[in-house]
Amino acid sequence: MTSPHDVLLRLLSPEGRTAPYRHYRELVEHWPVLPITPQRLLVTGYRECADVLVNPKLFPVPDRHYADRLWPTWYTVPSTDLLYRSLLFRNAPDNQPARRLIARFFAPDQVERMRPMITRHAGAGTAPFGEGDGLVDAARSFTTIPDSVMGELLGLPRHDGERVAGWLDRFLERNEMHPPDKALAAAEEASSHLVDHITNTVLAKRGSEAPLVRSLREHSQIDERDLVSNLVFLLGAGTATTASLLGSGLRQLAAHNDLLPGLRDDDALLRSFVLEALRYDPPVQYGVRVAAQDTELAGVPVARDSVVLVCFGALGRDPGRFGDPDSFVADRFLTPDTGPRDVLSFGLGAHRCAGAELGLVTAEVAFRQLALRVDAIREAEQPQRQARAVVRRHTRLVVDVTRR
């Protein structure tokens, strides 16, 4: 049998980042909790990941207090400062007012009210599929639908969309595992552009801000710098993730054209298809926690301050939780023994995605519109995707379509 070390090396290679699932499966089956170094563990088993996520007292997120002890100069790095001010890197009770507001803003009934706006942007993003038979680069239209949705929700000027998407993309390198120095330098530059841009556009409209921005400004008890960080974070969290979901769902659809008729009129199948795309290829592959004290996880000792990597990408392939986990089964979530709650691709517990419903509904609306426009769709060339470990967006996704 190969050693866990070999599997890790393969997983972190450029090939492994692009196609990690074979390696995850090996880890899930043999080493669901794997010490990588004395202070770092990789958790891939479904139950073991859930145990970490539902216990935020024992396994909090690394916040600025943690960073103060282990990396006291963190705040001199602007992009890190930006990240540590956001919701994802704050523990209760520090994160509560802002988290509650954001979660309320994206609650299911609120997202339902956004449906006409989402439909408008999905209509524009799917328009190239209805313009005639032939090739369409979905990475240029379809997967950028969330950029317009989030841009409108935050009140970003429309013409700046592409520039902002580029900055966000470079900024997200800061959240990657072992990014090269060049990428870190680009993340620094991008973070300062983002801060300036949000300050000079979104926040400059004092009195006529977008409702979410005003509500955060007036009621979240956070200062202006924290507000900017949370807005940058929301933009990143809401766009790259949903775009990744649209890309991987589209690829499944291209491989299973028989699903098209069902996606046009069967709401339950549509939701199951989207949930399965989330399980099969989660847009966020890893979450980070730290150990608040010496403890153990599934019998493996965990030293205080260890970094615990929760692998969302792997847990969905755990055969102990999902039958035939390496197959894409569009109606998996219509069966009685598997429900939406089993999908952990939005996280679980104290930090579960605050925008999950928006991500789901955006994907549903986009796939329905696509299915209504095309009769057949197939990949025309090998898709290109960022060789990243945490959030991997498609950069080129050319499909050959036959219009309806």
With beta carbons less than 8 A apart as the criterion, state whether 250 and 263 touch. no
Nearer to ligand HEM, 242 or 401 (CB): 242
Cβ–Cβ < 8 Å for 87, 95:
yes
Tokens of 107: 């609650």
Nearest distance in Å: CB 69, ligand HEM: 20
* The two three-digit tokens of residue 87, written as one number: 């919701």
The residue with tokens 């007012």 is: 97
Measure the CA–CA gap between 382 and 120, rounded to whole angstroms: 30
Per CB under 6 A, does 52 bind ligand HEM? Answer: no
Strands laid side by side in the 134-137 sheet: 134-137, 398-403, 374-379
- 194 near ligand HEM (CB under 6 A): no
CB of 381 to ligand HEM, least distance (A): 25
Question: Phi and psi dihedrals of 376, rounded to 5?
Answer: -150, 150
Does position 399 interact with ligand HEM (CB under 6 A)? The reply is: no
Contact between 200 and 160 under an 8 Å Cβ cutoff? The reply is: no
Q: Does 245 bind ligand HEM (CB under 6 A)?
A: yes
Cβ nearer to ligand HEM, comparing 79 with 241: 241
- For position 249 contacting ligand HEM by CB under 6 A, the verdict is no
346 lies in the binding site for ligand HEM (CB under 6 A): yes
From the list 32-40, 95-103, 131-139, 190-198, the region that binds ligand HEM by CB under 6 A is: 95-103
For ligand HEM, the binding residue among 79, 241, 248, 386 (CB under 6 A) is 241
Give which of 147, 367, 143 is closest to 271, Cα–Cα: 367
Distances (CA, A) of 275 to 19, 195, 279, 329: 20, 34, 6, 10
What secondary structure letter does DSSP report for 392?
Answer: -
Segment interacting with ligand HEM (CB under 6 A) among 11-19, 64-72, 113-121, 350-358: 350-358
Q: Is 287 in the site for ligand HEM (CB under 6 A)?
A: yes
Is residue 13 within 8 Å of residue 387, measured between CB atoms? no
Contact call for residue 302 and ligand HEM (CB under 6 A): no
Q: Which stretch binds ligand HEM (CB under 6 A): 11-19, 128-136, 254-262, 279-287?
A: 279-287
What is the distance between the alpha carbons of residues 403 and 217, in angstroms, rounded to a whole number? 46
The reply on whether position 361 binds ligand HEM by CB under 6 A is no
Peptide bond into 325 cis (omega under 30): no
358 binds ligand HEM (CB under 6 A): yes
Report if residue 234 touches ligand HEM, rule: CB under 6 A. Answer: yes
Q: Which is nearer to ligand HEM, 186 or 306 (CB)?
A: 306
With CB under 6 A as the contact rule, the residue among 351, 368, 373, 388 that binds ligand HEM is 351
Q: How far is the CB of 147 from ligand HEM (least distance, A)?
A: 11
**Nearest CA-CA partner of 170 in 138, 151, 143, 194:** 194
Cβ pair 8, 1 in contact under 8 A: no
> Which residues form the interface with ligand HEM (CB under 6 A)?
87-88, 95, 99, 102, 106, 234, 237-238, 241-242, 245, 283-284, 287, 312, 345-347, 351, 353-355, 358-359
